Chain A
Amino acid sequence: MTTTRWRWSRRQTLGAAAGFAAANAVPWYLSGRAVHAQSPTEIVHWSWLAASDGEVWARMIDAFNAAHQGKGLQIKMELVPEEQFMTKVQAAVVTGKAPDFGWGTAGMRAKQAKDGVIVPLDEVAVQVGLDLADFDEFALQQSRYPQYGNGLFMVPMDLMSLQPLVNTDHLQEAGLDPDAFPEDGAAVLDWAQKTTKRDGDTVTRSGILMTGSGVHPTVTWGIVAAQMGFQRASPDLKTAAVNPEAGLAAMQFVLDLFDKHKVATRDVTDRYKAFGTGQGTIFWTGPWTLNGYMQQNLPFRAYLFPKFGEKRVTYFEQGGLELYQQQDKGRYEATMQAVKWLSDNSFLWTTEGRGASPRKSILSRPDYKTAGPPWDKRGAFVDGMAFATEGEIPVQAGPDFTIYSGGNFLAKTLEGVWAGMTKPEEAMARIQEQWQKGLDAG
């Protein structure tokens, strides 16, 4: 007993001495981290979730820390703005001070996989006993990069799609039945006509809420183009912009919403705010917005994305956790244990948080449909995953290809089209050229 006590205190003394030394290497008043340096294993997590989904994620991390109180494993979360995220991660990796894990988007990290910034997880997942068989097969496949050893580079956390939210007050006002929202594109356009409000020739309330630039017209184009048969890359990742005429038709479709059908206006700056304040009726967006609109008591429902082209397709995004290169390889296992816990306990995240769960065991829980926002708001984002296939192109230039971006190469090129400054053919030629280069580079 006495011996044990003595040993214990000696270890403590050593720990304190080490902490003291560490704190002295960088004076404590200069270092924001010194306080944490003494805790046993602190896993550093970087997140860029800043919308209402971020609040739920913070609860997940809190829950982990509460469950592991006194067990020597704690997560410290730091928020990094999304557009700086990879720059900071890479700068941190180069200097040997990378965070342990962070949020990633499937298909967007080919370059980082190649450069070794993110690490393959197959082995360490087995080590900690993460049940890969419980994951949706498609989700796992999306987390791999075939050209880089087909390694698993992220643990999928949620599956997301774009589906229309519809302001039900506007429907009732126009005498339309919220239970009978059409699935056919032409009928949806007709509903949009009926709910649009105009002052002379200018739209004052959009039937289909769009912004004049940025992510919204880009993603709308991307979805409709895919519905019409356009492919950003052939399945073998060899040919870019297959069926360009479908892409051109989709550009015309977006332009027509503004100029021919006049159901949308380019004047909307902030789409989320605009829908929240009733400036538009039909608004396709992701599940991360639900909590915010619920808090605002906005009268809305979510439906399945309409079919404007030949087949029903919508945007697919998969969020997940990725591990960054460490100098101390021993950290991977501890980090993976944390990630495993977060995945195993992601019921909260995929009900109240966002998206559909990639875990079969969670999806099949009887309470999965009753937790979180009501099903008439959340259901479309779970059921709609069936046709959410327009995801990322897993090459190094992936960020140039994504249709969900307000400022990438694609969005910037298309912006000229929406503003009437670039001819659609010209834009398509530029897109084809740049994307082909991206595919050729692998």
Chain B
Amino acid sequence: MAEGWRALFRRRLPGTNLTIGDVPLWAAGGFVAILWGLPFVWMVSTSLKPAGQVMTRDVEWLPREVIFDNYIKILTQYPIARWAFNSLVVAGVATALCVLFGAMAGYALARLRFRGRDALFALFLASIMIPIEVAVVPLLLAFIKAGLASTYAALILPTIANVFAVYIFRQFFLTFPAELEEAAIIDGAGRIAIFFRIALPLARAPAIAATVIIFTLNWNNFLWPLLITFDESMKTMPVGIAAFAPVVGTHTQLEGFAVAMAAVTLLCIPSVLLFLLLQKHFLRGISSGAIKA
């Protein structure tokens, strides 16, 4: 009898690897996953509601009527397109440079031997522990002094040296098969040529992982753009939209709640989209770069 039950529990549902005994666990996990996504549902749902139907006594997950006024208001009354453009330029350029430089450094630290190498890597790692806020005000003054306040240069330069990129590439190149390099060395190729011709093209997985993580960090970067932009037209998206939060805006935007949700919905799109598109490669990159030592 017991055997029969066990067999039933172990039977797989057709076309899946889910056994009947696991269905409750599967459902419970699914419930948690849905919970995890609910804040997004709430955000989008609120963004489609008329202002008067936002604060209701009972929770209304679906708007009574769907309107796009909030989006129209955001897109017409605020320079959100400009903010999005700024964010794209800043996050795009900073990420590209960071990933390229990080790959170069990571390769050198993993494959080449030179004096000071280990000390340099230790310095990179140690810098993760440093609260950058110590440096923020001196940096602010330096950029203003250089006449670069509220420019793309000011937004991009301090974010180029993200140690995470070096780390992920170094871990990847540590396990890089030496035979690939050796052939080229015999051909007389220099190390730099080897990096660009052989190593870099094969480092797609860590490059994607680093791109997703660093782009996301740059896209969402908050404190530095908040401080260095003095100019509405130079704000990045998170900073521009933060003006809808009571803490950051001065005297709360009364009419702003549904509008604010529309704004944050727009704010979520690029980084979420990037992740969804690169999801598979991203996971592969994480596993090849960050995990394997």
A interface with B by C-beta (< 8 Å)? 25-26, 29-33, 46, 48-53, 77-82, 84, 88, 91-92, 94-95, 97, 99, 270, 272-273, 276-277, 286, 288-289, 292-293, 295-297
Question: How far is it, in angstroms, between the C-alpha of A295 and the C-alpha of B253 when the chains are bound?
Answer: 12
Structural contact, B226 and A292, CB atoms closer than 8 A: no
A97 contacts B147, CB within 8 Å?
yes
- Scoring B residues 215 to 236 as 1 if CB is less than 8 Å from chain A, else 0, what string do you get? 0000000000011001111100
When C-beta atoms are compared, the residue in chain A nearest to B152 turns out to be A30
How far apart are the CA atoms of A293 and B52 in the complex, in Å? 11
B52 touches A297 (CB 8 A): yes
**In the complex the two chains form, what is the Cα distance from A296 to B258 in whole Å?**
12
Query: B120 within 8 Å of A by Cβ?
Result: no
Q: Is B141 a contact of A84 with CB atoms below 8 Å?
A: no
Task: Determine if B254 and A91 form an interchain contact, defined as CB atoms under 8 angstroms apart.
Answer: no
Q: How large, as a class, is the contact surface on chain B?
A: 20 to 34
Task: Out of A46, A97, A277, A292, name the residue touching B149 (CB < 8 Å).
Answer: A97
A and B contact pairs by CB, cutoff 8 A, 5 listed:
A32-B234, A52-B253, A78-B232, A97-B149, A277-B55
Q: Which of A51, A79, A99 sits near B252, CB closer than 8 Å? A: A51
Which residues of chain B are within 8 angstroms of A84 by Cβ–Cβ distance?
226-227
Q: CB-CB < 8 A to B250: which residues of A? A: 48-51, 81-82
Please tell me which stretch of B12-20, B182-190, B241-249, B267-275 contacts chain A, meaning at least 4 of its Cβ atoms lie within 8 angstroms of it: B241-249
Nearest first, the 5 A-B pairs at minimum CB distance are: A292-B254, A51-B251, A277-B55, A30-B153, A50-B249
Separation of A270 and B251 alpha carbons in the complex (Å) = 10
- Known contacts A33-B151, A50-B250, A277-B55; can you find 15 more A-B pairs with CB under 8 A? A26-B147, A29-B152, A30-B152, A31-B147, A31-B151, A33-B150, A48-B250, A49-B250, A51-B250, A79-B232, A81-B243, A84-B227, A95-B145, A97-B149, A270-B252
In the complex, which of the residues B51, B144, B255, B257 contacts A91, with contact meaning CB atoms closer than 8 Å? Answer: B144
Asked if B52 contacts A296 (CB within 8 A), the reply is: yes
B88 within 8 A of A: no
In the complex the two chains form, is B151's CB within 8 Å of A51's CB? Answer: no
**Chain B 132-149 interface mask (CB, 8 Å, partner A; 1/0):** 000000001100110111
Q: Is the CB of A91 within 8 A of B252?
A: no
Residues of B within 8 A of A79 (CB): 232, 243
Among residues of A, the one whose C-beta sits closest to the C-beta of B242 is A81
* Chain B: CB-nearest residue to A291: B254
CA distance in complex: A129, B153 (Å): 42
What's the A-B contact tally at a CB cutoff of 8 Å?
102
**Cβ–Cβ < 8 Å partners of B254 in chain A:** 51-52, 272-273, 276, 289, 292-293, 295-296
Give Cα A29 to B90, complex, Å. Answer: 12
Q: Are A97 and B144 in contact (CB under 8 A)?
A: yes
- What chain A residues lie within 8 Å of B145 (beta carbons)? 95
Q: How far is the CA of A289 from the CA of B252 in the complex (A)?
A: 9
Which residues of chain B come closer than 8 Å to A272, judged between CB atoms? 246, 251-252, 254
Chain A residues within an 8 Å CB radius of B55: 273, 276-277
In the assembled complex, how far is the CB of residue A272 from the closest CB belonging to chain B, in whole angstroms? 4
* Chain B residues with CB under 8 A of A94: 141, 144
Chain A neighbourhood of B232, CB < 8 A: 77-79
With contacts A92-B144, A94-B141 known, is A26 near B151, CB below 8 A?
yes
Identify the interface centre among A32, A79, A273: most chain B CB within 10 Å of its CB.
A32
Contact A296 B51 (CB under 8 A): yes
Q: What A residues does B233 contact at CB under 8 A?
A: 32
Query: Which one of A49, A51, A99 has the greatest number of beta carbons of chain B within 10 Å?
Result: A51
Which of B147, B230, B243 is in CB contact (< 8 Å) with A88?
B230
Given known pairs A51-B254, A293-B254, the reply for A30 and B148 (CB within 8 Å) is yes
A80 to B227, CA, bound (A): 9
Contact at A296–B230, with CB atoms within 8 Å?
A: no
Cβ–Cβ contact A295 & B252, under 8 A: no
CB closest chain-B residue, reference A93: B144
Which residues of the other chain, B, contact A270 by a CB distance below 8 angstroms?
246, 252
